[in-house]
DNA sequence: ATAGATGATTTCGC
DNA sequence: GCGAAATCATCTAT
């Protein structure tokens, strides 16, 4: 027998004056049953009412509603109600060990309480065991018990702002999903456009991106609105149920407030899921439209040449300084970070397979050597006719004077392989020799990129890393000038 | 269609 | 914060 029955049983065992009737053990007989010979009509009346209450949960909704209405209108109802309240007051003193059974019974009963069935059946709220029988000032823990599954987590204290929720909110705001409409676009899209160079060929895709983002935004707001509406409706529904229940049992305003709080929290968690999904959608959209990797374009041939020229002419220390990077970026019409990426990739790939890059190295060495030779020729001429200390400023428009020593190294002993001097190599070497001569004469050299490099041999150490470029190779740089200076000293 | 090239990103150590 | 290394994703030549 469930607790309601038990309670009513207790009620049945107590007359209005509070005296025990029938030892409080059994329900009075059904109305059609046998009334005692004393035939107390009032007693029969009470028994009748109690029986109706007892059986009400076993009846269909319509039947029960009709009977409930009849009971509510019954003349004995106020008196019985006050007795019920009295008994409930007394249940405050129930010892703790009664609680589990009582709670369980309550939860069992809840399933049979049709008006509240939706709360349970919707599986809407998480189930959580109660550590102890909770009782309010009315001594009636029914709320938690009736809605046994209702979590009361955080009911007492205000929840601190959820950091995850804050992150989601911030992101949605940053992406222009949750904030005010920004003309269909988002700051993020604009930023991404700017980052990718803002080239015109991106504009179509960006408008596409904006369109999709607007779609997401619309869906998000529609769903949010739906949730809010559902929350309000549900709250109203529950309030109505409580109001109805308050006619048969005492319900404190605090309880109602708590109930509303629980509902709102639950809807908030659903909203959080919506926000999470929206964020995921935006991330996917971003990666699809704005991820630089997806929009990769090879650098122009000219840009690659410029970068390669620098790389092979600084093979001993291919780490351009910040200034050099900026200059390179400018010349190649790419960003500084792209220059950094390029050098990073180049270094690692070169190191991994030097043999493969041999040919390329030779090619650029030759190319640069020719340029250098011209520069040297001009320098020599300058040297003869003008001030001997004036460094050559170069005239090729590329790098003023490449570090030809690297080229020399490249020809001679790349990766320890003896390079069987091609015609190009021989030419380069002679040019380098000339260069060295000039450099020694002029007492220094500064390339236009701030990469001040005297002859500095490239040294891939045993670990595959570039050794300190300022350390000259004893084998390959017999004429190394003193005071070799690198702008790349950060490395 | 495929393999290799290449620019970008991520992870890790310093 | 920078660079090495690994990896991803795309481009390009075949």
**A450-469 pLDDT per residue, tens:** 333 333 334 566 555 675 43
Question: Which tokens sit at A141?
Answer: 């823990």
Q: Where are the alpha helices (DSSP H) in A30-125?
A: 41-56, 61-73, 77-90, 99-112, 117-121
Cβ neighbour number for residue A437 with a 10 Å cutoff: 13
Residue A20, SS3? Answer: strand
Across-strand partners of A14? A20
Q: Identify which of A158, A142, A157, A153 has the alpha carbon closest to the alpha carbon of residue A241.
A: A142
Residue A256, SS3? Answer: helix
Provide the CA A292 to C1' B4 distance, Å, integer. Answer: 21
Q: State pTM to two decimals.
A: 0.43
Using a 7 Å CB cutoff, list residues 354-383 of A near strand B: 356
Terminal-to-terminal C-alpha distance of chain A: 83
Across-strand partners of A460? A466
Give the separation between CA A428 and CA A268, rounded to whole angstroms: 74
Query: Does residue A364 surpass a pLDDT of 60?
Result: yes
pLDDT at A85: 63
Q: Is the CB of A291 under 7 A from strand C?
A: yes
- The mean per-residue pLDDT over the stretch A2-10 comes to 39
Give the separation between CA A464 and CA A459, rounded to whole angstroms: 9
Question: Do residues A173 and A256 touch, judged by C-beta distance below 8 A?
Answer: no
pLDDT at A302: 92
Please, which residues have CB within 8 angstroms of residue A417's CB and are 6 or more apart in sequence? Answer: A355, A358
Q: Identify which of A332, A119, A122, A395 has the alpha carbon closest to the alpha carbon of residue A238.
A: A119
Provide the CA A296 to C1' B1 distance, Å, integer. Answer: 21
Is pLDDT larger for residue A191 or for residue A356?
Answer: A356
A413-433: pLDDT as tens digits: 433 333 333 333 333 443 443
pLDDT at A446: 34
Q: Is the CB of A291 under 7 A from strand B?
A: yes
Is pLDDT larger for residue A305 or for residue A130?
Answer: A305
Q: Which long-range contacts (CB under 8 A, 24 or more apart) does A46-53 make?
A: A46/A12, A46/A16, A46/A76, A46/A80, A47/A12, A49/A74, A49/A76, A49/A80, A50/A8, A50/A11, A50/A12, A51/A27, A53/A8
Q: Is the CB of A162 under 7 A from strand C?
A: no
Provide the CA A300 to C1' B3 distance, Å, integer. Answer: 22
Please, which residues have CB within 8 angstroms of residue A489's CB and are 6 or more apart in sequence? Answer: A470
Please, which residues have CB within 8 angstroms of residue A126's CB and are 6 or more apart in sequence? Answer: A149, A151
- The mean per-residue pLDDT over the stretch A266-287 comes to 80
Q: How far is Cα of residue A361 from the mean position of the Cα atoms in its chain? A: 45
Q: Is the CB of A114 under 7 A from strand C?
A: no
């Amino acid at each position: 027998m469930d607790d309601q029955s038990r309670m009513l049983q207790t009620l049945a065992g107590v007359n209005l004056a509070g005296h025990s009737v029938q030892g409080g053990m059994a329900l009075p007989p059904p109305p059609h049953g046998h009334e005692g010979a004393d035939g107390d009509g009032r007693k029969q009346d009470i028994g009748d009412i109690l029986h109706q209450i007892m059986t009400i949960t076993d009846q269909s909704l319509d039947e029960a509603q009709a009977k409930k209405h009849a009971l509510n209108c019954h003349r004995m109802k106020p008196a019985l109600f006050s007795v019920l309240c009295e008994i409930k007051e007394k249940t405050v003193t129930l010892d703790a060990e009664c609680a589990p059974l009582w709670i369980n019974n309550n939860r069992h009963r809840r399933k049979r309480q049709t008006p509240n069935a939706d709360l349970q059946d919707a599986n809407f709220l998480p189930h959580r065991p109660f550590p102890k029988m909770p009782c309010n000032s009315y001594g009636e823990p029914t709320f938690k018990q009736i809605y046994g599954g209702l979590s009361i987590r955080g009911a007492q204290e205000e929840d601190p702002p959820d950091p995850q929720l804050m992150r989601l909110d911030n992101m949605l705001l940053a992406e222009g999903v949750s904030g005010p409409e920004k003309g269909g676009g988002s700051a993020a899209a604009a930023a991404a456009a700017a980052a990718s160079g803002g080239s015109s060929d991106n504009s179509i895709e960006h408008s596409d991106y904006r369109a999709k983002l607007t779609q997401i935004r619309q869906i998000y707001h529609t769903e949010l609105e739906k949730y809010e509406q559902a929350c309000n409706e549900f709250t109203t529904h529950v309030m109505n149920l409580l109001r109805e229940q308050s006619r048969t049992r005492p319900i404190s305003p605090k309880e109602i407030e708590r109930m509303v709080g629980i509902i709102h929290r639950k809807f908030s968690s659903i909203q959080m899921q919506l926000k999470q999904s929206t964020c995921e959608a935006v991330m996917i959209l971003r990666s699809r439209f704005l991820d630089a990797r997806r929009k990769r374009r090879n650098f122009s041939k000219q840009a690659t040449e410029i970068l390669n020229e620098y790389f092979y002419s600084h093979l001993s220390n291919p780490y351009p300084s910040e200034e050099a990077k900026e200059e390179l970026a400018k010349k190649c019409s790419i960003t500084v970070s792209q220059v950094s990426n390029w050098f990073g990739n180049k270094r690692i790939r070169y190191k991994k397979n030097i043999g493969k890059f041999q040919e390329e190295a030779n090619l650029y060495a030759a190319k640069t050597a020719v340029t250098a030779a011209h520069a040297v020729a001009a320098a020599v001429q300058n040297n003869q006719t003008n001030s001997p200390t004036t460094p050559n400023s170069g005239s090729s428009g590329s790098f003023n004077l490449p570090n030809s020593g690297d080229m020399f190294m490249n020809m001679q002993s790349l990766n320890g392989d003896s390079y069987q001097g091609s015609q190009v190599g021989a030419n380069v070497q002679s040019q380098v020799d000339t260069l060295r001569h000039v450099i020694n004469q002029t007492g220094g050299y500064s390339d236009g990129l701030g990469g001040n490099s005297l002859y500095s041999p490239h040294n891939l150490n045993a670990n595959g890393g570039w050794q300190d470029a300022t350390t000259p190779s004893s084998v390959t740089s017999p004429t190394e000038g003193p005071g070799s200076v690198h702008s790349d000293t950060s490395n």
